[in-house]
Amino acid sequence: MEHPEPPFRDLTLAAFVDGLASAEPVPGGGSASAVAASLSAGLVAMVASLTLGRPRYADHAELAEHWAEEGRQLATDCLTLADDDATAYAGYSAALKLPRDTDEEKAARSEAIRAAAHMAALAPLPAVEACLRIVTGAEALAGRSNVNAASDLAVAALLAEAGARGAAANVLVNLPATGDEPFATELTTRVDTLLRDVERLAAATREVVRTGSPRPPIPPAA
């Protein structure tokens, strides 16, 4: 089912928030979580960009250059994920509204709900994965980037963790309706692992920002 609205990236911020506040099923929490992730990625890119070209941070130039580019790409990708989540949920919502007057209609509706629930559970998963990548960048830059923007990395870590938790919740809430226990177990395990990593890196980022300690360059990969 196609997304019923223009892409969220084409809306003003006010229009997106108005849609979120409406009684319409989309955008909802999954899309909001992906947008939070996009904002987090944007902050990572900003801090990296504010570090580039500064002699004080010359030893971290390669790191900053990498995250200036990847942060922007992740910010763009997460806006697409916000649309993907809305599209998946619109399909699930449509399946719930199918007729169920006859046994045949009930069977068809049940099958449609299970299929749509699979899609609705899978759609937010890439946002959780993106949040892990984003907070990886925030942690890498902490203590290795423009000290005047250190608090922005702390905000990025908070937003990435919130986005990951929100997207994960939208994965998990749709699993019972799939009627597929192995699938549910697999996704639950995957989400739990991702969240643990996100939480660890977010906490590490905030701690470095709190202490204000500079860190040595990341050794080059072997």
Give pLDDT tens digits for 41-95: 999 999 999 999 999 999 999 999 999 999 999 999 999 999 999 999 999 999 9
pLDDT tens track for 179-206: 999 999 999 999 999 999 999 999 999 9
Asked if residue 18 belongs to a domain, the reply is no
Q: Look at residue 114 and tell me if it is in a domain.
A: yes
Q: Is 3 among the domain residues?
A: no
The answer to whether position 19 is within a domain reads no
- The identity of residue 94, as a single letter, is A
Residue 217 lies in a domain: no
| Tally of domains within the chain | 1
Q: Which domain holds residue 92?
A: 26-211
Asked if 150 and 133 count as a contact pair (C-beta separation under 8 A), the reply is no
Q: Does residue 15 lie within any of the structural domains?
A: no
CATH of the domain at 54: 1.20.120.680
Q: Is residue 161 part of a domain?
A: yes
Cβ-proximal residues to 154 (8 Å cutoff; 6+ apart), any chain = 205, 206, 209, 210
